[in-house]
Chain A
Amino acid sequence: MNKPEALGQKALEKAISKHLNTAQMPNFDDYLLKKIVAKIEYKKQLKQLLPKLWIACAVFIFSLGLMVVACAVFWRAFVQTSIFEFLSLTFTDFKIILDNWQDYSFSILESLPLGATAFLLGSLLASLWLINFSVNQLSKFRKLLSAGHELR
């Protein structure tokens, strides 16, 4: 046992000896002090993690909703333009499209619903980041719980 732990051990013995008589005193060794300190640390970390966990759950549900909304907005905008019909030409008239690939490419770019596409891609990026944050908090919580079980 190093010096700080030895001092902690002595303080712990002194504190407990005020409340218990000699016959009731437990057997102090390294393991007990370390276990108490670890338990305190575990409770502290749990207290810090629980609010983050609630935020992570809310954020996860929000990101799923955001993805659904973004997909719905994009699909509605996609259907309103004529880009479906232009894209279908790739399957029916591939050789002709290849001969006029420049005009065809511009026709696709002109028909693209830019605002809805940008919203969809931005929402996907934000949702992925939020889901990653939620999963990280959940995995920290699980590790903390398993560490807490070992302390019992």
Chain B
Amino acid sequence: MEITVPPENQDKSTYSNTLKWVAAILAELIILIGVFALGMNVGFRKAHFTDEWIKNYPANFGSQAGAYPLPLPPPDRLFNNHGVLGTILNTDGKTIIIKAADNNENTVILEPATVIRQDFTDLTAKDLKANQQIIVIGAPNEQGQIDAKFIRILNGQQ
């Protein structure tokens, strides 16, 4: 005996299939737009920080204003501004100048609330020395510097 699906059930299955496809396409569009927006945000922050770094280079690194007009680096070499891995070049207890992994110099501002750690020991700004390798997590400011929230010393080389 041949079994046939009543017409009203056929309409329901077609409707639910169409609804599934529409929902899937909408979900994918939302994810795509979200990822695109995130990428735009990260890219803008990097470009803005790099621009501020260039503008404030004389003030941050002690050179004469206008003595080193630096060009904007290529898009794939914009500076990271929320986290830096590098070697300390110089420190005075309030600021650190570090050579980042991309060989660019960065200024890191030490705040009273900045947490400094080596292994499982909490340290102070006085324990930071030149040639130490550190990771910095922080936020960029408008002077092309990074306000450090957390610093981990990776080794104790002097």
Contact = CB atoms under 8 A, between A and B. Distances in A.
Interface of A: 81-82, 85-86, 89, 92-93, 96-97, 99-100, 103-104, 106-111
Given A96-B117, A97-B137, A104-B83, 14 more contacts: A81-B101, A82-B83, A82-B135, A85-B85, A86-B135, A89-B137, A93-B150, A100-B149, A100-B150, A104-B82, A106-B81, A106-B82, A107-B137, A111-B80
Nearest to A84: B85
Q: Is the interface of B mostly helix, strand, loop or mixed?
A: strand
Interface stretch (B13-21, B38-46, B58-66, B90-98): B38-46
A86 B42 CA distance: 17
B85 A104 contact: no
Size bracket, chain B contacts: 20 to 34
Nearest to B100: A82
B115 interface: yes
B42 A103 contact: no
A106 B46 CA distance: 10
Nearest to B46: A110
A93 B122 CA distance: 11
B101 A82 contact: yes
Interface in B94-126: 101, 115, 117
B85 A106 contact: no
DSSP majority for the A interface?
helix
Given A96-B150, A100-B150, A103-B139, A86 B117 contact: no
A96 B115 contact: yes
B17 to A, nearest CB: 23
B138 interface: yes
Most chain A CB inside 10 Å of its own CB: which residue of B82, B115, B149: B82
28 contacts: A82-B101, A85-B135, A86-B85, A86-B137, A93-B150, A93-B152, A96-B115, A96-B117, A96-B150, A97-B137, A100-B137, A100-B149, A100-B150, A103-B83, A103-B137, A103-B138, A103-B149, A104-B82, A104-B137, A106-B42, A107-B80, A107-B82, A109-B38, A109-B42, A110-B42, A110-B46, A110-B83, A111-B80
Contacts of A85: 85, 135, 154
Nearest to B136: A107
A115 to B, nearest CB: 8
Contacts of B85: 82, 85-86
A99 B114 CA distance: 12
